[in-house]
Structure 1
Amino acid sequence: MNKRDIIPSDEELTAFIDGELTAEEAARIEAMVNEDQAVAERLEFLARANLPFEQAFAPLLSQAPREKLERMLAAIPAHESAKSAAAPASAGRRRFLGALAASLVAGIAIDRAVIGMGPRFSAKDENSEWRAVVADYISLYTPETLAGPVPAGDVQAAQLGAFDEKLGLSLSPQAVALPGIDFKRALLLQYDGKPLAQIAYLDPETGPMALCIVRSDAGPKAPDVESRKGMNVVYWSNGTHAFMLIGHAPADRMTAIADGVRGRMAA
């Protein structure tokens, strides 16, 4: 088999993203991305993973089982530790998937506080793409991710207030309240250089749920339903913003919840 035809590994693709390949190797990867849809999609996925992580899960990290993790690290053979210490800092990104898996086993979920992507990896259908990106990180959420008390009304209002200037959208706790589902936090993120609002909830029956909003000039669109990452998504848009409600609840219940949100926002 010609070397050109060998499917690149995740390590090679990440090295390509980091600019660590030779010109010949980079040209081979570039050609395969242009010719093979599966390789292009894998590169896009790894590009999303190659991101800075911020404070969204600081409370969970403070509760991490440090002693258990330290014992796991101590069990690593010395020659492997030495090799890791000598490796370039960017090589750590190549171990992202393994590190993420270890974190999830330890009960630690990592939020993507910035989920922007360069135009090189942008999909043709922008509206579909942002929903795919949201589904990627919401799929990492567990009930433990959103554990803790429900914020007081004034705290909710303060968090939602961050959307006013950046997103041009004024929301009240009452407008985004979901019946029988706990409000947990509102975060202002970023997608493709644009602000993205995420309001996270915890449904006692089905687990994590989120309402996400971006600016959009695509025009009004009636609600529709799709499935992503094993979750149901109800999405719609008005003249200025696109919305999506994502969660594990059945599609008919998600649709009913979304209809309530739309009605309160339009009021």
Structure 2
Amino acid sequence: MSTKHTIPSDEDLTAFIDGELTPEEAARIEAIVNEDESTAERLEFLARANLPFEQAFAPLLAEAPREKLQAMLAAIPVQQSAKSGPVFTTRRRFLGALAASLVAGIAIDRAVIGIGRGFSAKDENSEWRAVVADYISLYTAETLAGPAPGREDQAAQLAGLDEKLGLSLSPEAVSLPGIDFKRALLLQYDGKPLAQIAYLDPETGPMALCIVKSDAGSKAPDLESRKGLNVIYWANETHAFMLIGRIPADRMKELGEDVRGRLSA
């Protein structure tokens, strides 16, 4: 990072977005962005990756040891500026609580960055899958611990997604055989509503069915691997879908085809 032309890391670009750099460092990165197209695209990607991690991990945050956490955070020096103050303070509070809650050796820097490295910002569907894979990789069985909600509770949670997504989801349509429905959340990606339906497989751990509005056109089901997770994804004329988890690829494909058929019925 000692020369003007050194390509900045994702951490540096994230700090630039949040206004945490010194004026000299900010000017250096701005110059690189103006000169280097790949760095400019990466900066745009990081700025757009705005999934609300705090909402996704709300159950963990509620149980975090806040007094101890606040004492730890009080010792962290913070650069104050009119631009960065509120954003960085919120991020520090969330990440500190997440660190206190997730004690299974998870790398917290992935939550700071909130993106998957190496995926093109120009491919909308690839981009949102990268972001989802990044935060689902943080989930453990403890994240989704507790009894599975009954059908009425499932239906109520799904109804909260329907209005924003323009879908009509039912517990039967999104059920996965032998895998517990745990919760349905409404998140946001790139200014668009994103539904996350979380499950817990007794053998392989957390899974999620995620849905976002998309006008990129229909896409036949395909399989890929991200962050050590298997993903089956597809799209119709109005929405993009992905099912993600650690279940073996063949089984993931079967589950994806099954739920796709029910959602299309």
Deviation at 1:107, TM superposition (A): 6.2
From the superposition, tell whether residues 130 and 14 of structure 1 become closer, same or farther in structure 2 (CA, over 3 Å): closer
Q: What does residue 239 of structure 2 align with?
A: 241
Deviation at 1:62, TM superposition (A): 3.7
Deviation at 1:65, TM superposition (A): 4.7
From the superposition, tell whether residues 92 and 50 of structure 1 become closer, same or farther in structure 2 (CA, over 3 Å): farther
Write the distance in 2 (CA, Å) between the matches of 1:140 and 1:65. Answer: 19
Deviation at 1:238, TM superposition (A): 1.4
Write the distance in 2 (CA, Å) between the matches of 1:108 and 1:233. Answer: 23
From the superposition, tell whether residues 240 and 98 of structure 1 become closer, same or farther in structure 2 (CA, over 3 Å): closer
Q: What does residue 13 of structure 1 align with?
A: 13
Write the distance in 2 (CA, Å) between the matches of 1:46 and 1:221. Answer: 25
Q: What does residue 29 of structure 1 align with?
A: 29
Q: What does residue 63 of structure 1 align with?
A: 63
Write the distance in 1 (CA, Å) between the matches of 2:178 and 2:165. Answer: 27
Which one of the candidate residues 183, 203, 206 is aligned to 1:205?
203
2:77 counterpart of 1:84: yes
Deviation at 1:32, TM superposition (A): 3.0
Q: Percent identity?
A: 68
Write the distance in 1 (CA, Å) between the matches of 2:22 and 2:63. Answer: 42
Deviation at 1:263, TM superposition (A): 1.4
Structure 1 gaps of 5+ residues are 117-121
Which one of the candidate residues 207, 229, 238 is aligned to 2:227?
229
TM-score by length of 2: 0.77
Deviation at 1:218, TM superposition (A): 2.2
Deviation at 1:230, TM superposition (A): 0.6
Deviation at 1:152, TM superposition (A): 1.2
Alignment map for 1:146-165 (pairs within 5 Å): 146-165=144-163
Deviation at 1:20, TM superposition (A): 5.0
Q: Deviations over 1:79-113 (max 9, x none)?
A: x83x7378564554786897477335546999x9x
Write the distance in 2 (CA, Å) between the matches of 1:94 and 1:55. Answer: 13
The alignment covers a number of residue pairs equal to 252
Amino acid at match of 1:235: Y
Q: What does residue 119 of structure 1 align with?
A: none
2:192 counterpart of 1:194: yes
Write the distance in 1 (CA, Å) between the matches of 2:14 and 2:215. Answer: 34
| Aligned alpha-carbon RMSD (Å) | 3.8
2:218 counterpart of 1:217: no
TM-score by length of 1: 0.77
Q: What does residue 125 of structure 2 align with?
A: 127
Q: What does residue 250 of structure 1 align with?
A: 248
2:96 counterpart of 1:103: no
Write the distance in 2 (CA, Å) between the matches of 1:175 and 1:233. Answer: 19
Amino acid at match of 1:35: D
Corresponding residue SS for 1:29: helix
Corresponding residue SS for 1:3: coil
Amino acid at match of 1:103: A
Structure 2 gaps of 5+ residues are none
2:188 counterpart of 1:169: no
